[in-house]
Amino acid sequence: MFKPTAVVTGGAGFLGSHLCDKLLSEGINVICIDNLITGNTANIAHLVGRDDFKFYKQDVTEYIYLAGKVDYILHFASPASPIDYLQLPIQTLKVGSLGTHKALGLAKEKKARFLLASTSEVYGDPAINPQNEDYWGNVNPIGPRGVYDEAKRFAEALTMAYHRYHGIETRIVRIFNTYGPRMRLNDGRALPAFVDQALRGENLTVFGDGSQTRSFCFVSDLVDGIFKLLMSDETEPVNIGNPSEITIKQFAEEVLKIMGSKSKIEYKELPEDDPKVRRPDITKAKNILNWEPKVEREEGLIKTIEYFKSINHIS
């Protein structure tokens, strides 16, 4: 029986590894490519040895050669957390530009459908809330976060150029804050930082006064939305995220409550260009993909905290 094949760049990362699981569960062969700068083979260890899964350690900013037919390419390779792209600014820009170019070149050669993992960061520090796909964003191109924001904005432009000029089938997902098992404790995002500090009995660090908002989507919901987009006919960007908005202060308090921690919250200066609001308008995803998140935040937090405890061997 014919089985399609998908390439996932960044497939050993947090989102990429869950996407590999999803594609395999849908009967699709998976080729995972990752240079392991921020990915981890532990995320895909359970897949090694399967006939329908292959892993190649490679930097996707270099030429990608693969023998045989490829039906889908999902470009997820990129440092994605502030701590990563601030430490790896050049690599972040290169994977968004050169890496996207190489992945699109492979899609052109193989006549494969291409899906770009873009981000809510293309909206920058938004002047509207919630953010819909028609909003062009408010980005500081030379600020410290610009390396990630502009890499993804360029990647979107390049993807649409290949779609219009070469006729490549393309999809663009704008991913909002996502959480779940396989996140790195030290990746600098709010949830791992809060859990790590609480596990150590330290105070939780909230930047600014904690009134800035975020929206957190559980990873299983996110990959369902991405898969639906991949299989759809929509060529323009689609927001995938959870529209349930919460302040960072409230989020820290939720984590403390679920963990039964006696840690307190301490406040530090807000980083430069830190977005004050972040919330997706998912009207398009609902209408076109018949998708919306299902996992309640408390349920997702409990699962994620249990994962963090397991990798720390803390009960």
What is the rounded CA–CA span in Å between residue 117 and residue 13? Answer: 13
Question: Is the separation of the CB atoms in 93 and 84 below 8 Å?
Answer: no
Closest CA relative to residue 24, chosen from 2, 53, 48: 53
User: Which residue in the list 72, 85, 123, 148 is annotated as catalytic?
Assistant: 148
Question: What is the spatial distance between Cα 94 and Cα 31, in angstroms, rounded to a whole number?
Answer: 22
How does DSSP assign 169-192, residue by residue?
A: -EEEEEE--EE-TT--TTS--HHH
Check if 307 is active-site: no
| DSSP letter assigned to residue 245 | E
CA 99/CA 59 separation, integer angstroms: 8
Q: How far apart are CA 159 and CA 19, in angstroms?
A: 20
Known catalytic residues? 148
